[in-house]
Every structure is written in C-alpha cells, then in structure tokens.
Chains A and B, each alone.
Chain A
Amino acid sequence: MSIEIEKYTLPEHISYSAFSTYLTCGYQYYLGRLLEKQEEPSVWSVGGSTFHAATEMWDLDNL
C-alpha cells in the first residue's frame, strides 16, 4: 500500500507558528494547516488565548 498526499491548497501566507509546526513535524503541518483536520481541543490553548485577550483588553484601556 502506498501512502499518498491528498490534494491541498496552500494558504496565502505563512506564519512563524506554521513554520515552527513544520519543523516540529511536517506531517502535523500538513494535517492541520493544509488539510485543516480538526485538532483535539486543549485546555492550555483556551487558557493561553484567554490570557492574551485579557491583557490586551487591559492595555487597550490603559493607553
């Protein structure tokens, strides 16, 4: 059985995060960023985003 790469559309842009994911695991980049497979949710991801959003609100309110 041969393993084949499914057809994919390249995103218009790259990012450091995409580059870093590619270096960690090229197949993870392919599954997540190109095939857009559903990633299992993680508490740390929501928590990290929440910290960013909360501090952003504070900084914007205190310019």
Chain B
Amino acid sequence: MISSDLWNKAWLKESEGVDLTNARVGGRATKLLPNKEDINFWQVSGPMWVEDYIAWRQANPNWKIWIAPDGRPAIELELIPKIAGVPVKMVIDRVFIVNGKLIIVDLKTAKSVPNSPLQLGFYKVGLEVAYGQPVYEQEILGTYYMSRESGTSEMINLSSYTYDKLEYLVEGFDKARRAGIFLPNTNSCQHMCGFTAHCQFSTKKDG
C-alpha cells in the first residue's frame, strides 16, 4: 500500500465522528499558509510525511522492531506497569533493537523536539517494570522521530531515568489528584487548550 493510501485509510478512521468544520488549527498564518495548518495542510503534508517515514525505515534496515518478551512486536506497544502502586498506562510508539541496544522512539508531528525527554523516561522505566531482568540488563536509549525533519532527533541515554525518580513523580501526582488539587495555570491558556468553553479561569482570547 502506498503512503497516500495508508494516509487516507487512517484519516477516515481517525476523523470518524469528529466535526472538523470549525476545529482549532495549529501553526501561524503565513503568506504560504494564510489559514494556518488547516485540513488542506495536513492532507498535503501527511502523505509526504508517511512516505518519508517509510523511506527512513527502508534506509535503516539494521533498526529492527523489538519483539517484547511476551512475543508482541513493539509497535504501539501497550503496557500498564505499576509505579508507586499506581497503574501507569503507556502506548510506546516503537522500540527498536539496534546493535544490541534498545531504542525507544516516539513519533512527533509537531515542529519542535520536546524540551524534556521525560516521556521517554516514563517508557524506559515502564519497560523495565513490565519485563524485569531481560530489559533491565540492556542499555536503553531514546529518540523522537520528527516527521517534519524526516528523521530522528538526537539520541538520548535514558539511564538517568530510574524507578525511584518516576516513583516520586507518580506518587506526587496521585496524591494531588486524590486530594483534589487542580490549580489552574492561566499562563498556559493560549497554548492549545481545548477546554476554554468549560473553564472559569480561562484567559484565552478567540482567534
């Protein structure tokens, strides 16, 4: 199946039941994109990004999809390990095995690489908790596949993400949500929040 067929098939599925008529759009209005990154932008860019992903996969045959100890290929690998006694659901986009090392890859369609690799750290600890010793003994790296760059970002050594660190974060989050502590951050209102209509603290302006 070629990339545009893959894209169209997936778009139909993912947009089913979603009214995109007045949906929020990302990016900035430019001469080239006066309507920002609207449906047309995605319908043009998306298939090209899929084509580039396929080309990247084919150009790196030594990047093999990792087969987890439970026999599942690590493609959208769903795990629910317990950290600090709390089930933590994660769907890991890809795990590759390259020269004996595990590489966790998260796929991004945004412009920028995340400021922090914490998401990859969550996945690294999640893999260790879910599969134990066979994974714990391996070196685990992480990276982002940046669709707009048609390749991966800088490789990150995830060894600093330990169970103890994740336990601290998960435990703190769990305590806060159980205690009903939900402080609004009005500095973030302009940043992609889709709950303006329901939020009494919102400072978001239309447009």
Please report A residues at the B interface, Cβ cutoff 8 Å: 3, 5, 10, 12-16, 19-20, 22, 24-32, 34-35, 37-44, 46-63
**Contact among B65, B73, B88 with A14 in the assembled complex (CB-CB below 8 Å):** B88
A7 CB to nearest B CB, Å: 10
Q: Is the interface of A mostly helix, strand, loop or mixed?
A: helix
Cβ proximity bits B33-74 to A, threshold 8 Å, 1 near / 0 not = 000011101100010011001100100000001000000010
Docked Cα-Cα span, A49 to B9, in Å, equals 12
25 A-B contact pairs sorted by A residue (CB < 8 Å):
A19-B122, A19-B173, A20-B118, A22-B173, A25-B189, A26-B183, A27-B184, A28-B185, A28-B188, A28-B195, A31-B198, A31-B199, A40-B23, A41-B18, A43-B39, A44-B26, A44-B42, A49-B10, A51-B50, A52-B93, A54-B10, A56-B76, A57-B9, A60-B73, A61-B1
Excluding A28-B195, A49-B10, A58-B1, 4 further A-B contacts by CB distance (< 8 Å) are: A40-B196, A41-B23, A51-B46, A55-B6
Number of A-B contacts (CB under 8 A): 184
